[in-house]
Structure 1
Amino acid sequence: MELLHTVDEVRQRVRQWRREEQTVALVPTMGNLHPGHLSLVEEARRQADKVVVSIFVNPTQFGPGEDFDSYPRTLNDDAAHLREAGVELLFAPAVEEIYPLGGNQTWVDVDQLGEHLCGAGRPGHFRGVATVVSKLFNIVQPDVAVFGEKDFQQLAILRRMTREMLMPIRIIAAPTDREADGLARSSRNGYLRDSERARAPLLQQHLQDARRAIEAGEQDFRALEKRLSTSLNQHGFEVDYFTVANAVTLAPAGARDRDLVIAAAARLGKPRLIDNITVQRSAGTG
């Protein structure tokens, strides 16, 4: 596996692969890799001849008071995992390589989809995500890019961005990788204390409770959201949102919506946990 740090080096290597008629998959990450990331790599290997993984802790998607400075940077361990997973190229640029003018005045911003769920409480976050991913797409020019379904809103925004900007890249959604007790794997799970880790699976359990209620005919989504948010708060979470949303627009769902995503974000001690589950209602409901 090659470890490259500059845009020019990556472009040169990808050009060589193109001359050899090799297809390329990209897995963008911020590092501190766990088995969930490696499941994305496995999917990428199924989709293309060559796999590029990027590790870049992107400053423009962190808001004031968030953990940019303390976010774990574990490049040596990450490289060892990726080498074992059969990745051909690891791209680990410095901030100056991605933002060469020191700060951006050019941004990619997807309207509306970024206004709900995580975007409502993290202004500018998805603008930072869309901008850095578009830069990575421009650098690597992959045929395929793989993202996890755990970040449902991010996935929806990047799919829209790719489609509307006419990028010739196929976005692949990989299922959320979970611990044995149902907790969605995340780099920030390492912040959990033992007592918090024991309670963390309750987030997924409450999402499952919401799905069962909707499948049983529950139509008052706002009451359902309030009831389950209150329950999580009583178990020591600080709920940011617990929302039944339209799976396409991400706006709060109404009685006539059929394709739903139940999404939640909540702090448990230091980390902010996110998770989601999708529901397809039958035509006879609502």
Structure 2
Amino acid sequence: MILCTDVKGLRKLVKDTGKKGKTIGLVPTMGALHEGHISLITACSRENDLTIVSIFVNPVQFGPNEDFDQYPRDLSGDCQKAEAAGADIIFTPDAGSLYPGKDMTWVETTGDIVKVLCGRTRPIHFRGVTTIIAKLFNITMPDKAYFGQKDAQQVEVIRKMVNDLFFDVELHIMPIVREQDGLAKSSRNIYLNKEERQSALVLYKSLKCAQSLFLQGEKNLQTICSAVHDMIAAEPLGSIEYVEAYLLPGLIPANEEFNGRALVAVAVRFGTTRLIDNVILGE
């Protein structure tokens, strides 16, 4: 396993791999690796000749009152986990190498897709996401890139960017990895105290309720969202930010009745910890 910290060094490794006709897979992460990340790295290693894992807590996707400084960091542990899962190169740049000057060039997806769900309360977040992903794509030139379905809006925004800017990369979206009791794996779960951790199980329970209603024939998304909202609202430690549903792909506002695929997504705070989760109906 190679630990690479600079753009030029990584580009040379990538060019040498390309010249040999080998395929390159990329797994972008912000570190604090858990089983969800490991599933991405494992799939990438299985399906590509060279697996690159980036570990970079991206400052430009955090708002001024968000948890950039407190975001969990464990580079040594992350490198061990990534190598064990099949990473060939771990890219750990500093912010100065990826954002070398005051005057930034941004890659920004516009429209309703970035104004709903998390974009409503995190107005600069997705501009930061698309900018760093575009940079990583340009540096690594991957054949395939791997993302988790838990960040459903991020997935749709990146998919749109790839299509609109003609990036020659195949996106692989991997299923949400959960604890045995259903809580979605997240780097922020460590912030939860014992009571909040137990309370947070309502997210999975409410989304299972949505799935059950759909399988029983309910096609009214407003009815489904109302059931999810009521279940979460009954949990006293949870503070709802949103419970919303959109058609896929593209996060299209839905009529009351729908056919095809729909995303039901939630964001809820437990104490100071903001958690997101989702389910896709009609998958």
How many residues end up aligned between the 2 structures?
281
Structure 2 CA distance for partners of 1:19 and 1:105, relative to 1, 3 Å: closer
| Stretch deviating more after TM superposition (140-149 or 15-24) | 15-24
TM-score by length of 2: 0.94
Secondary structure in 2 matching 1:123: coil
* Partner Cα distance (2:138, 2:110) in 1: 17
Paired residue type of 1:71 = Y
CA distance in 1, matches of 2:211, 2:151: 18
CA distance in 2, matches of 1:29, 1:106: 20
Give the Cα–Cα distance (whole angstroms) in 2 for the partners of residues 143 and 221 of structure 1. 36
Which ranges in structure 1 are unaligned for 5 or more consecutive residues?
Answer: 282-286
Q: How far apart are residue 228 of structure 1 and its match?
A: 2.8
Q: Confirm or deny: 8 A CA contact 1:53 1:90 kept in the other structure.
A: yes
Q: Does 1:111 align with 2:116?
A: no
The answer (yes or no) to whether the contact 2:160–2:250 under 8 Å persists in 1 is no
Q: RMSD value over aligned CA atoms?
A: 1.6
CA deviation profile, 1:131-183 (whole Å, cap 9, x unmatched)? 11000001111000000011111111111111111111000011111110111
SS in 2 for 1:136: helix
- Secondary structure of 1:155's counterpart equals helix
1:219 and 1:21 map into 2 onto residues whose CA distance is 48
**Using the alignment, how far apart are the partners of 1:32 and 1:149 within structure 2?**
17
Greater CA drift, 98-107 or 176-185: 98-107
Once the two structures are TM-superposed, the CA of residue 255 in structure 1 deviates from its matched residue by 2.7
Contact 2:219 2:257 in 1 (8 A): no
Give the structure 2 partner of residue 276 of structure 1: 278
Q: For the residues of structure 2 that align with 1:251 and 1:240, how far apart are their CA atoms?
A: 20
Change over 3 Å in CA distance of 1:110–1:26 after alignment to 2? farther
Deviates more, 1:254-263 or 1:180-189: 254-263
* Aligned residue in 2 for 1:165: 165
Compare 134-143 and 15-24 and name the one that shifted more.
15-24
Shift of 1:113: 1.3
Residue of structure 1 equivalent to 2:232 = 232
Report if aligned partners of 1:109, 1:131 keep a CA contact under 8 Å in 2.
no
Asked if structure 1 preserves the Cα contact closer than 8 Å seen for 2:220 and 2:257, the reply is no
Q: CA, structure 1 residues 249+86, in 2 after alignment: closer, same or farther (shift >3 Å)? A: closer
For residues 108 and 47 of structure 2, the distance between their equivalents in structure 1, rounded to whole angstroms, comes to: 27
Give the Cα–Cα distance (whole angstroms) in 2 for the partners of residues 99 and 63 of structure 1: 17
1:206-245 aligned at under 5 Å gives the runs 206-235=206-235, 236-245=237-246
Mapping of residues 74-153 of structure 1, within 5 Å? 74-153=74-153
Q: Structure 1 CA distance, aligned partners of 2:121 and 2:226?
A: 18
Q: Distance in 2 between matches of 1:108 and 1:243?
A: 23
TM-score by length of 1: 0.93
